[in-house]
Amino acid sequence: MDTQKITHEIRMKHWMQIIAQRQQSGLTVKGFCAQQDILIKQYYYYTFLKSCRIQQTSKMPKP
């Protein structure tokens, strides 16, 4: 696995934790991002990537 893929996986895991924290917090995206000093665009970007990843894994054939 090359460095870029490893970096991407680490970043995705980090953002999956952030997305889960926001969902558990009960705050709006805007409120959570302001509280955590996160750009809203960045939050939605990783939310989009997460949904794409879920769609890809659900389309994979089962062994």
- Sign of the torsion angle spanned by Cα atoms 25, 26, 30, 31: negative
With CA atoms as reference, report the closest residue to 19 among 9, 29, 7. 29
pLDDT of 8: 87
Q: Can you give the pLDDT at residue 31? A: 97
Per-residue burial over 45-60, b = 16 or more CB atoms within 10 Å of its CB, e = otherwise: ebbeeeeeeeeeeeee
pTM of the model: 0.78
Question: What are the extents of the domains in the chain?
Answer: 3-59
Residue written as token pair 């490893």: 6
> Looking at the predicted structure, is the pLDDT value of residue 56 above 90?
no
Structure confidence by residue, pLDDT tens digits, 4-55: 989 988 999 999 999 999 999 999 999 999 999 999 999 999 999 888 876 6
> What is the pLDDT, as a whole number, of residue 61?
63
What is the pLDDT at residue 45?
A: 93
